[in-house]
Copies of this chain bind each other. A is one copy, B any other.
Amino acid sequence: MAERLDLTEAQIKDFFTSLSNWGKWGAKDQLGALNYVTPEKRARAAGLVREGKTVSLSLPLATTPSPDNPTPVVHLMMQTGDLEEAQFPLPYSADYFAIAPHGLATTHLDALCHVFYQGKMYNGYPAADVTVHGAKNGAIDAIKEGIVARGVLLDIPRAKGKSWLEPKEAIFPKDLEAAERAQGVQVEEGDILLVRTGRHARIRALGAWDSFREGLAGLHASCLPWLYERRIAAMGADGASDLFPSGYEEVVAPIHLVTIVAMGVHLIDNCDLEAVSEACAERSRWAFLLMIAPLVLHRGTASPVNPLAVF
């Protein structure tokens, strides 16, 4: 069980008020904290590019079932290189895939309609706005124009001198700040914060585990005021950002719930942060241009994404 510190569940519930951005960008806002990414900040982020090197933050789409992947991606061929079978004057190949982007095995961007607290989503839209035909508010296509901003990686295990955090290992505000100091970087308004726990380093070394049952390293709920004050625009992690188990019964995933619902912060789950961590460490530079281009899925609750860091 994660360390509770002094934070009670009642105090977390208060965050839905005290850390709320509802109405801040208007009653009809669909972008949430992405409003912090002003054109000026975006242009400045582009100015971080020096070498022109890109690094993907995406896992491969996972076609194999596992406890973390109960709805694997189906990838099948409609047409192969078997040219006798071509159904078209042009010899070609083509494929088909089916994907349930949420879950713990796919790098995906959560839309603001993805989670609810007390029947509401970000900005007070009712949960009932998400029907069998998708989301009338907070949908992924609201951010069709993509996320282009400064990305800042806080590499928690590296700052602690470890290869990875263990499942259930909590990240506290002091850990975020220690990483800032160790890396010489500061999370600022409009940044996309990326938090590395070393999950995929551990998977590659020790094999996969069942994140829901055996736990996942992540941010403790006590990080929420810190995230709010820093005015991050979005957050990604190599897990789900949340610590599993969170230590709370009702607000079972406080990071997801308070960042998305109250703060309007988009989350990018299950990034592969191993390569970008190496790239940052080699350069001793932990900020870079980050580009995320969700598929334009009308009324969707998420998109699989391939976030690109550019150095």
A residues touching B (Cβ–Cβ < 8 Å)?
38-47, 49-56, 58-61, 63-65, 70-72, 74-85, 87, 89-102, 107, 113-117, 119, 121, 126-135, 141, 144-146, 148, 252-253, 256-257, 289, 291-302, 304-308, 310
A202 to B133: give the CA distance in the assembly, Å. Answer: 29
A/B interface sample: 17 pairs, CB < 8 A: A46-B47, A46-B310, A60-B141, A75-B298, A76-B96, A77-B132, A77-B134, A79-B132, A81-B128, A89-B252, A91-B127, A92-B115, A93-B113, A95-B300, A146-B291, A291-B308, A295-B306
Other-chain residue from B43, B60, B132 in contact with A296 (beta carbon distance below 8 A) = B60
Copies in the complex: 4
Closest chain-B Cβ to A96's Cβ sits at a distance in Å of 5
Other-chain residue from B71, B83, B134, B252 in contact with A74 (beta carbon distance below 8 A) = B71
Is the beta-carbon distance between B291 and A97 smaller than 8 angstroms?
A: no
List the B side residues contacting A116 at CB < 8 Å.
81, 83, 91-93
Is the beta-carbon distance between B289 and A306 smaller than 8 angstroms?
A: no
A161 to B283: give the CA distance in the assembly, Å. Answer: 49
Is the beta-carbon distance between B53 and A49 smaller than 8 angstroms?
A: no
Instruction: Contacts A81-B130, A87-B133, A252-B90 given; indicate if A300 touches B97 (C-beta within 8 A).
Output: yes
13 more contacts with CB within 8 A, not counting A54-B145, A71-B74, A91-B119, are: A61-B296, A61-B298, A65-B65, A65-B71, A75-B298, A81-B119, A81-B128, A81-B129, A87-B133, A95-B101, A95-B134, A295-B304, A295-B305
